[in-house]
Amino acid sequence: MKQTIFFSLLCLFSFISFGQPPNGTLNSPQSTNQIGVMENGTNMSKGKLEVNANVESNSLLKMDSSYFKLGQKLEEREDSNEQDDTKEIRENDKTTHVFSAFSMIRQNAKFNKFQRTPLPAEQSEMDAKVKQLELISPNSWEYQLAFYAAGNYNLDRSPALEKAYQLNPENLEVQKQYVSFKYMNGDTVSAQNALSLMSVNNVIPLEVERYTSDILTSCTMNSTLITHGFEDTYGALFNQFSHQLRADIKVISLDFMQSPQFRKELEVKGYVLPKSTKIDVGYLSQFCTLNAEKELFLSVTIPRNYLDPLSKKLFPVGLTFQYAHAPPEDLPNRQENLWFYQLNKFGLNEGEERSKFAMNYLPLLMYLEAKYIQEGNEVLLLQIRESIDYILGKKVIKKSGN
């Protein structure tokens, strides 16, 4: 099939809004309560014991001056306790406010569709909020997490993350950072345990689990999968660690590439890295050029700004784009096998609720549509077009049991 067909398809794909936002809606920061309620409704309240001294009345003791001294001391102690409690509440409120501001700055940085590395102004703002948290509450999990997160996956700051995890292991953002740290550090057992907890809490729902299993299935043996957001990255790792699915594939998150230690580990494994340390559109283009022989597959959830400069060398394969100088000779057969036999297509089958990732299967289907038009295969062309119509909402598959 001519290369111009691939280029035309990719240009068309670039206007499709795929199912995953830049870093997943799960990252959206939410307000915390005074003790610590974080994202996803996870409540880490330590609770507070209110103690009220109850002094039993005694008419004989009331005539003794020592009683009045005792009562005065008790009142002073109660006043002091109330003042301490009020001060603690004020400090918690301030910690919550500053940490929420930090989270918002970091979240805005992650929604940048041209680069993963925060802009200099964003980095300065985050560093300033970390300093504030250090002054207000240096022993809080919020400060420890913010200090680590502001380092953009610099593992030299990992002791702070370990402390945050000890203090608040149920917080979603703590869990996410902990998984990435353990994965980059080579501790796959701890990463697996944390990912399993996220799955149990439905942070990695079944829909994401099944979808990312199809991403891994789309790649060839011993290849490299480049991801961008939360769902494709953590879903793929969950499948690898918990289900031992396609452990031969090296998952490289553009987010994790900010880590100097992770980049160094990639060099040890034989990858050639660009000289720049800013992870952006240009960095991905250079990385693909320098590592073309590594069998690179890019998740379709990567924003189109990253894909446009590579469009002439990207070929749709399942739920990925394979980077190659020319269309792989076995691509037509691979595409057919993927769609008809290998992919689970969760959320696209009869009796299943339509998946939010449904649109991400369109590149594969449009490739097969063009193939069957060229071959004049009316039977398979009809099947593919029915699937396309269903994904586009033009046709409803009859649910089982109706």
Tell me: the pLDDT tens digits for 330-352?
999 999 999 999 999 999 988 88
How many angstroms separate the CA atoms of 195 and 332, rounded? 35
**Whole-Å CA distances, 182 to 67, 161, 185, 199, 347:** 61, 11, 5, 17, 31
Which of 1-8's residues contact partners 24+ apart within 8 Å by CB, and which partners? 1/327, 1/332, 1/370, 1/371, 1/374, 3/312, 3/326, 3/327, 5/370, 6/314, 6/315, 6/316, 6/327, 7/311, 7/312
Does pTM top 0.95 for this prediction?
A: no
pLDDT tier for residue 13 given thresholds of 50, 70 and 90: low
pLDDT at 91: 63
Strand, helix or coil for residue 43: strand
Tokens of 384: 């593919």
pLDDT tier for residue 2 given thresholds of 50, 70 and 90: very low
Tell me: the pLDDT tens digits for 189-227?
999 999 999 999 999 999 999 999 999 999 999 999 999
Contacts of residue 335, defined as CB under 8 A and 6 or more positions apart, other chains included, come to 316, 317, 318, 364, 367, 368, 371
pLDDT at 397: 53
pLDDT at 238: 97
First-last CA distance in the chain: 42
Strand, helix or coil for residue 154: coil
Question: What is the average pLDDT value for the chain, to the nearest integer?
Answer: 83
Biggest CA-to-CA distance, the chain? 109
How many angstroms separate the CA atoms of 395 and 232, rounded? 28
- 76-80, 284-288, 346-350: least confident range: 76-80
Residue-by-residue DSSP string for 297-339: EEETTS-HHHHGGGGGGEEEETTEEEE-SS--TTHHHHHHHII
Q: Has residue 71 got a pLDDT over 60?
A: no
